[in-house]
Amino acid sequence: MVSEPRDIAVHRRPKGEPRFPQGPAPDPAGSHFERRIRSFQPRRSRVTAGQADALERLWGTWGLDVDGQRRLDLGAMFDGLPVVLEIGFGMGEATARMAADDPSTGILAVDVHTPGQGNLLGLADRAGLTNVRVANGDAIILLREMLAPDALAGVRVYFPDPWPKKRHHKRRLIQPEFLTLAASRLRPGALLHCATDWEPYAEQMLEVLGAHPDFANTSADGGFAPRPAFRPLTRFEGQGLDKGHLVHDLLFRRV
């Protein structure tokens, strides 16, 4: 039998024990019981020993479950910093980089991917970042139930699932209903920034955003925008570029 290398050692638990007693809860708001289409598909993935350690040690301080039962006080949580919501952060490398590059902005990063949550907590801890919070759960419930109107200085959606099959297009996050909800939580002048390497989804994003009355395109020609300096190259972007995909950024301002 071949033993597992140390750098990918996995967190194991006795049968019946919660996966992370001090960490994120599975589906904290019970969103899978809601009769609506979701844009994400939770998946179980291997959690390394380092990620498990970060979840157990740091979740109580820097993490929160999206339970839909309370209104978050972002001012207290981020010491008065303007706060940007990042929806879906993968393994968190780009999020940690943006937080380090701009300590004057708080980042509330929400995802359901447990290894990524642990990885981002570990990255933030090692870098001494205090302007990142990691939220576990459904971003729609977070926006709808837990954030006040005009609470956000920005929303970032980088490389969301493109749901490429036509019958799954209804699962795409960037839809008129989502934009209306996001607009209600964005203060006037705040930026909604999307990026994707899936060209048909980029075209749909541009069409839906361009038609929404609460958003105005920052691009003078009404099209896609250059990648802004504050958005680092992400792991998913690198994978897309390696496959020859074009990456499209969309920057729309809340009017």
Tell me the C-alpha to C-alpha distance, in Å, between residue 222 and each of 8, 71, 215, 253.
Answer: 46, 36, 12, 12
Judge whether 28 lies within some domain: no
Query: What is the total count of domains within the chain?
Result: 1
C-beta atoms surrounding 30 within 10 Å: 13
Task: Give dist(CA 28, CA 51) in Å, integer.
Answer: 20
pLDDT tens digit string along 139-149?
A: 999 999 999 99
The answer to whether position 91 is within a domain reads yes
Instruction: Tell me whether residue 92 is in a domain.
Output: yes
Q: Is residue 21 part of a domain?
A: no
Residue 86 assigned as binding residue: yes
Phi, psi of 112 (to 5 degrees): -115, 5
Say if residue 89 carries a ligand binding annotation: no
Q: What is the pLDDT of residues 18-69, one digit of tens each?
A: 567 677 877 676 655 565 555 556 666 789 999 999 999 999 999 999 999 9
Q: CA-to-CA distance for 113 and 49, rounded, in angstroms?
A: 16
pLDDT at 4 over 80: no
Beta pairing class for 186-196 and 132-136: unpaired
Single-letter code of the amino acid located at 216: A
Instruction: Classify residue 7: in a domain, yes or no.
Output: no
pLDDT in tens, 167-213: 989 999 999 999 999 999 999 999 999 999 999 999 999 999 999 99
Q: Residue 194, CB half-sphere, CA atoms under 13 Å: how many?
A: 30
pLDDT at 105 over 80: yes
pLDDT, average across residues 81-97: 96
Q: Is residue 83 domain-resident?
A: yes
The catalytic position among 161, 214, 221, 242 is 161
Q: CATH number of the domain that 134 lies in?
A: 3.40.50.150
The residue ranges of DSSP E strands in 17-90, in sequence order, are: 63-65, 83-87
Range 83-88 average pLDDT: 98
* DSSP one-letter code for 228: P
> Is 161 one of the catalytic residues?
yes
Which residue range forms the structural domain that includes residue 188?
64-254
Please tell me whether 235 is known to bind a ligand: yes
Asked, for residue 56, whether it belongs to a domain, the answer is no
Mean pLDDT over residues 67-74, rounded? 96
Band of pLDDT at residue 237, cut at 50, 70 and 90: confident
Residue 37 lies in a domain: no
pLDDT digits (tens, 9 = 90+) for 107-145: 999 999 999 999 999 999 999 999 999 999 999 999 999
